[in-house]
Amino acid sequence: MKIAFSKYGGELLTRKRLAPWIIGFVAVGLVAGVCGSFLLGNRLWLLAIAVFGIAGILLCLGVAVAIFPTQSEVNEAPSVPIEESMPESIPHWDYRPRKPIRARAVLGSASAETSDGLSSDLFEINNNAWLNDNSLGGADPAFVDGPPETEETRTEALPRTTDPVRSAPTVEDASFDVRLKSYRQSTRGG
């Protein structure tokens, strides 16, 4: 069912807003007329002119106040809700189109990162995220003993294959592998 709205609803609202002003204009006009006629009857010309002048000024000011706020409300009303409904943007945050998450070995990529000592336990999400599958055991002892101090420090990273402790499979490693495989399957499926 289509609901029809009155085409002249805006005019009715405008008339309701202007009603107090119209009443005020009539009152000022009546008072000025009565006072002016009384003063004119008593031949007080200057006072009569002053009363009519003041009444005219009041009427002009009233008309101006009644008209200009109405126009400004009509012009500015749509802009305020639009500004309030705008979503807040997060600075320095990238919302690129999401790419499908895929797991692949870094060593198999075309980039020249094979000489960095990266182990085959790393897999890459998109092109700027690397996950470390073999980080369950925590920090590498060699790193803990002497980490690089700054980001620009150039030190040779030791490959994990030389660590005899990590080469021995443990129960935690087995559970880790199971969870990792299930996670990879879920990400590939999504």
Helices (H), the chain: 9-41, 45-76, 79-84, 141-145, 164-167, 171-189
**Residue 6 beta carbon to another protein: minimum distance, rounded to whole angstroms:** 43
- Using the minimum distance from each CB to another protein, give the nearer residue, 35 or 121: 121
Kindly state the number of chain residues that form the binding site for another protein, as judged by CB under 8 A.
Answer: 47
- Using the minimum distance from each CB to another protein, give the nearer residue, 38 or 183: 183
Letter string b/e over residues 90-109, b meaning 16 or more CB atoms within 10 A of that residue's CB:
eeeeeeeeeeeeeeeebeee
Does residue 130 touch another protein according to CB under 8 A? yes
List 151, 164, 165, 171, residue binding another protein (CB under 8 A): 151
How far apart CA 98 and CA 42 sit, in angstroms, is 89
Does residue 45 touch another protein according to CB under 8 A? no
**Residue 85 beta carbon to another protein: minimum distance, rounded to whole angstroms:** 18
Q: Please, which of residues 153-172 interact with another protein by CB under 8 A?
A: 153-155, 157-160
Q: What are phi and psi of 128, to 5 degrees?
A: -135, 20
Q: Which of 72, 54, 58 is nearest to 17 (CA)?
A: 72
Window contacting another protein (CB under 8 A); options: 21-29, 41-49, 56-64, 176-184: 176-184
Sequence-distant (≥ 6) Cβ neighbours of residue 51 within 8 angstroms:
32, 35, 36, 39
Cβ atoms of residues 124 and 106 within 8 Å:
yes
Q: Please, which of residues 61-120 interact with another protein by CB under 8 A?
A: 90-96, 98-99, 101, 113, 116-119
Binding footprint of another protein on the chain (CB under 8 A): 90-96, 98-99, 101, 113, 116-119, 122, 125-126, 128-132, 135-140, 143-144, 147-151, 153-155, 157-160, 176, 179, 183, 187
